[in-house]
Amino acid sequence: MVKLSVNLNKIATLRNARGGATPNLLQVAIDVQKFGSHGITIHPRPDERHITYQDVHDIRSVIKTELNIEGNPTDKFMELVLKIKPDQVTLVPDKYNALTSSSGWNTINHYHFLTRKIKKLKNFGIRTSIFLDPNPELVIYAAKTGSDRIELHTGNFSIGYAKKEWSSINPYIQTAKEAVKNGMLINAGHDLNLDNISFLIEKIPYLSEVSVGHALISESLYMGLENTIQSYLKRIHRIDMNESGIKNKVIKNDTTF
C-alpha cells in the first residue's frame, strides 16, 4: 500500500507570519495522524523560515505513525537528526536561500559525500532516502551509496500533467524500474495534488510513499483538513484495491497510457 506523509511546513509558515502559536503546529501534527495520515514530513531549513529546529524536537514527542525529516545534510542538520532519530531522513540538496526544493541530487558528482552521510545515518538505525530527479543513471549511484530509497522529485511531472503532456511521466517510469532493479524502494513528492496523484500512482505501481504538503494544506482551506486527507487516502486506496491488478502488472511500453 502506498503511504501518505503530510508535510507540515506550510502550517509553520502561517504560524511564523504572525508569531505566537497559531496555528498550533503540534496540534495539527496530532490531528493529521488522527485523520489517517500514515506519517508526517518536516523540512527544517537553515534559515528556519518555517519549521524551526525547536519544532523538530517538539514534534518528535507527538509522533504515533512515522516521522520523515528532509534536509541538506549539513553538520547542523546531521547533528539534529542523529539526536532525534526519525523513522526516515530524506537528503535534499537545497540551497540556503531556495524558495523550495528545485532539483534532486547529482549522485554521480556527490557520490562520496552522500555515501558518508548515508552510512552515518544507517549506523543510527535511520531509514534513508535520496531526493532524485527522474534519471535512471542517477539511481545506480544512489543505490551504491547504500540508501534504502529514492524520492522522485515530481515537479516536472506535475507541470507536464497540468498541461496534459502525459509523456512527462515516462522518465519517472524508467527511473522507478531502475530503482526496483537495484533493490530500492521509491517515494515521491513535490507539487503533488488531488488532481494528479492518482495518475502518478497508476503509472508507477512500485511507489511506497507520497509526501504532500503545499497543495494539501491549500486544498484544506476549502475542504477542511480532515476531509482533504481522507480524499487523498481514498484516491490511494482506490488504486491499491483496483481489481485490474495495477500493482502487479508489468508496464510493457512507457508510451502506452
Catalytic residues: 43, 70, 190
What backbone phi and psi angles, to 5 degrees, belong to 71? 165, 165
Contact between residue 41 and residue 8 where contact means Cβ atoms under 8 Å apart = yes
* Alpha-carbon span 142 to 65, nearest angstrom: 26
d(CA 88, CA 90): 7
